[in-house]
Structure 1
């Protein structure tokens, strides 16, 4: 791998790339693609991650962010990507094949500069255009996952669990790269599974004797349904992330899988912020999302920006050496998000007396009912607290009578039939009349977006 990185760095240098130049990477998930990422970083390039599945307008937006070259491979060389200078990993008509470059015998010289932007990784774009989070080389050098000499005991144990890591998704995701690092730097092997038509979880775990991976909440639920048909006893670390999971379901997952389940909380802008370990879960600590990593500071603040004491709910702010430097080309949004070195997560929550972080919703995941702000997160928690409900998803939609109305979608617990009237009464009793959903729809499951997260907005298309 190091030799491949050296060769590709020479090819990228010959193509005119180096410190401060930007290369947009849209490739399949392959060893060569990872080597190209590392080679571009060694040269000090700005690596622009292009996620699969972008609609044309979002793709044009991402490729229009001061990109000097686009890197593709034979599987991703779509016409809309063949603009400007195109590089490739493999034979692509009209592109420079980096793998065919003869290379040289010189050493791999790292020319990255600490304060240059190393990567643009993008938010999901669910609120419009994807925002490019600018991560500097200095921040990557301080990142918990990439510095094994400074790993905490928790991080070191986690890395040991990733001895054989099930690697899937896209290298354009900071989450994928963040958890690939402990595998490789801990001496492990990343396994990229071939598609055999069956769910990766649990069948690829059994086939490749996987010891560790990351998993979204919907995939975890599906995996638990299929456990009777697969052997996943090789697992030692399974990181659940991407969206909240009900405490009852987290306990059930740990009971079925054993002491291997971690829960992580983070954002594209901040990386992984907090982690709940199997030891925490075994001790009955399942309500919070974890303790912050060493070097990560948390501050919970009210609407006026004043810090709140433990136990009080407010907006969560994060400060660490590896948060983003800002949103590329969006100074207004950067000013609104970064405050005196602190990152506004726009998540609501509190820190308890033991230092554990608890999430309570999104400050922007709101519905305006009769001009009253109603948060989706607390409603979802109340609904999933009912024994008839396994999952709950709340969204808002325009309403002639109230401006917006709350609509809830619930996935029933096995063998249960949720009573919509009883659920509505439960929300009314705990949160008040404004939070009561106008409709409660029982669904077999939630659609999943390309990011792997629940696509709550897609549920509305079946309602109206």
Structure 2
């Protein structure tokens, strides 16, 4: 099995004249991207970086941003993928994960302050170096190759550490591992609409699909609506959250948007109702897939158009069947999974790792599930108190603790409710401290400063007291009823 990222390097050299990207009005050939990888690899090596060194990458979405990730992996570095929008405290926490260097598009005072004594390199500066004559992967299987971070909604993001062995076995990163359904999915990404962030594991999965099959990743004007970019750029493959899918379906019905070029639509991040899934298939054609997974374990199950065509009702009520490389068990109603491409553990956090992986390497998903007689996995609840907003998990407990730390608040409780725009929305209920009247804008600011703007509740409700369930615990089902 080829070490990561050799399959991607091979894809760049196999079709050197084909465009790898369309960016800022021009085509960027694969040969050009490969040469940029050679340049960045030499530049990073000249700055003393190599095997097992942590390289934090805080960049936008561009061919150079992709190339510098590949270059760091060629050297056997540990790529630390930094999500945009983190608070200064969260950024500082991430940079404390044994980071030896930070790579940015442009140095900003905020990043410089967070980096402190850690060397900071810009892509423009790295580009001035002479390219390496050859590219030879330097990693070893047990080295950690990537830290993908959880949302940070618990306060500090947890770094999910993936070894180079796991990356080589990854369901998407090596075409030798593609099952027939995955290969058919990959074939639809001839022209990928590349949005989001390259710090997202899921985005990198589908960018890999595109490049490994000779396709082109189209990076659109960020000011243009997502739906319009599909029509304008004749996109064949997209990755979208449930709310974004709903917006696309609305545009198709309302404006007659031309989506006839679409061959592969992957929906992920949160559950979608069976009726909406049927609507998507009816309006977009037999191109809709759904995936279920987690940052810690990557893809677990895949629902395909063939599934929806052969078994419409049971398939649409599920998240598909497990990937052949994934073992699954339901223990006391909770789903456990194990695969060769799951994380090795949380970086420098043995206690959390032991809780998640135990002694046998089976990962607790903390999702309640069962299998039907056809082998489709059905998610029936959560063993953890979370709200999924725009495909990002937010832990209710962390938001509740943050609100309760405000001097005006005695008690705080958070629930999630379905939302057409974001999949789910966060709703907060607070009981004031005696003699205090909370200012809702200040509460929102307090949450944003501690956990990031994405964790700020959609609504706040002030209560004199909180309904209590027969168990004696706060009745969150009753709180949900107050929203209607």
TM-score (norm 2): 0.73
Asked if 2 retains the 8 angstrom alpha-carbon contact of 1:23 and 1:69, the reply is yes
Q: Hey, what's the Cα distance between the residues in 2 that align with 1:250 and 1:225?
A: 13
Q: Provide structure 2 residue ranges, at least 5 long, that are not aligned to the other structure.
A: 1-32, 389-393, 402-410, 422-447, 464-484
Number of the residue aligned with 1:32: 64
After the TM superposition, which of the residue ranges 70-79 and 287-296 deviates more from structure 2? 70-79
Number of the residue aligned with 1:19: 51
Larger RCO, structure (CA 8 Å, separation 6 or more): 2
Asked if 2 retains the 8 angstrom alpha-carbon contact of 1:166 and 1:213, the reply is yes
Q: Hey, what's the Cα distance between the residues in 2 that align with 1:76 and 1:355?
A: 51
Q: Hey, what's the Cα distance between the residues in 2 that align with 1:315 and 1:232?
A: 39
Structure 1 residues 325 and 265: alpha-carbon distance in aligned structure 2, compared to 1, 3 A threshold: same
C-alpha RMSD of the superposition:
2.7
Number of the residue aligned with 1:173: 200
What is the CA distance between 1:72 and its match in structure 2?
0.4
Structure 1 residues 162 and 66: alpha-carbon distance in aligned structure 2, compared to 1, 3 A threshold: same
Number of the residue aligned with 1:357: 377
Is 1:101 the counterpart of 2:126 in the alignment? no
Asked if 2 retains the 8 angstrom alpha-carbon contact of 1:394 and 1:407, the reply is no
Asked if 1 retains the 8 angstrom alpha-carbon contact of 2:356 and 2:364, the reply is yes
Structure 1 residues 208 and 463: alpha-carbon distance in aligned structure 2, compared to 1, 3 A threshold: farther
Asked if 2 retains the 8 angstrom alpha-carbon contact of 1:395 and 1:456, the reply is no
What is the CA distance between 1:364 and its match in structure 2?
0.7
What is the CA distance between 1:353 and its match in structure 2?
2.5
Asked if 1 retains the 8 angstrom alpha-carbon contact of 2:289 and 2:302, the reply is yes
Asked if 1 retains the 8 angstrom alpha-carbon contact of 2:170 and 2:177, the reply is no
The CA deviation string for residues 11-67 of structure 1, in whole angstroms up to 9 with x for no partner, is 111111111111000011110111110110011000001111001111110011110
What is the CA distance between 1:245 and its match in structure 2?
0.9
What is the CA distance between 1:103 and its match in structure 2?
2.7
Number of the residue aligned with 1:128: 155
What is the CA distance between 1:74 and its match in structure 2?
2.3
What is the CA distance between 1:79 and its match in structure 2?
3.4
Is 1:329 the counterpart of 2:363 in the alignment? no
Q: Hey, what's the Cα distance between the residues in 1 that align with 2:200 and 2:283?
A: 29
Is 1:74 the counterpart of 2:93 in the alignment? no
Q: Map 1:210-221; keep pairs closer than 5 Å.
A: 210-221=235-246
What is the CA distance between 1:82 and its match in structure 2?
4.9
TM-score (norm 1): 0.76
1:162 to 185, 189, 192: 189
Q: Hey, what's the Cα distance between the residues in 2 that align with 1:8 and 1:246?
A: 45
What is the CA distance between 1:330 and its match in structure 2?
0.7
Is 1:271 the counterpart of 2:315 in the alignment? no
Asked if 2 retains the 8 angstrom alpha-carbon contact of 1:70 and 1:81, the reply is no
Q: Map 1:1-400; keep pairs closer than 5 Å.
A: 1-74=33-106, 78-83=111-116, 84-90=118-124, 97-104=125-132, 106-195=133-222, 197-200=223-226, 202-227=227-252, 228-229=254-255, 230-283=257-310, 284=312, 285-302=315-332, 314-339=333-358, 340-365=360-385
- SS in structure 2 of the partner of residue 231 of structure 1: coil
Q: Hey, what's the Cα distance between the residues in 2 that align with 1:274 and 1:412?
A: 24
Asked if 2 retains the 8 angstrom alpha-carbon contact of 1:163 and 1:188, the reply is yes
Q: Provide structure 1 residue ranges, at least 5 long, that are not aligned to the other structure.
A: 91-96, 303-313, 367-375, 378-392, 414-448
Q: Hey, what's the Cα distance between the residues in 2 that align with 1:288 and 1:76?
A: 45
Asked if 2 retains the 8 angstrom alpha-carbon contact of 1:134 and 1:325, the reply is yes
How many residues are treated as equivalent by the alignment?
A: 379
The CA deviation string for residues 315-372 of structure 1, in whole angstroms up to 9 with x for no partner, is 1111100000000011100000002011111111112222211112221127xxxxxx
Q: Hey, what's the Cα distance between the residues in 1 that align with 2:192 and 2:108?
A: 24
Structure 1 residues 156 and 407: alpha-carbon distance in aligned structure 2, compared to 1, 3 A threshold: closer
After the TM superposition, which of the residue ranges 221-230 and 150-159 deviates more from structure 2? 221-230
What is the CA distance between 1:7 and its match in structure 2?
1.7
What is the CA distance between 1:282 and its match in structure 2?
2.4
The CA deviation string for residues 162-218 of structure 1, in whole angstroms up to 9 with x for no partner, is 1100111111111111111111111111111112x3321x11100110000110011
- SS in structure 1 of the partner of residue 153 of structure 2: coil
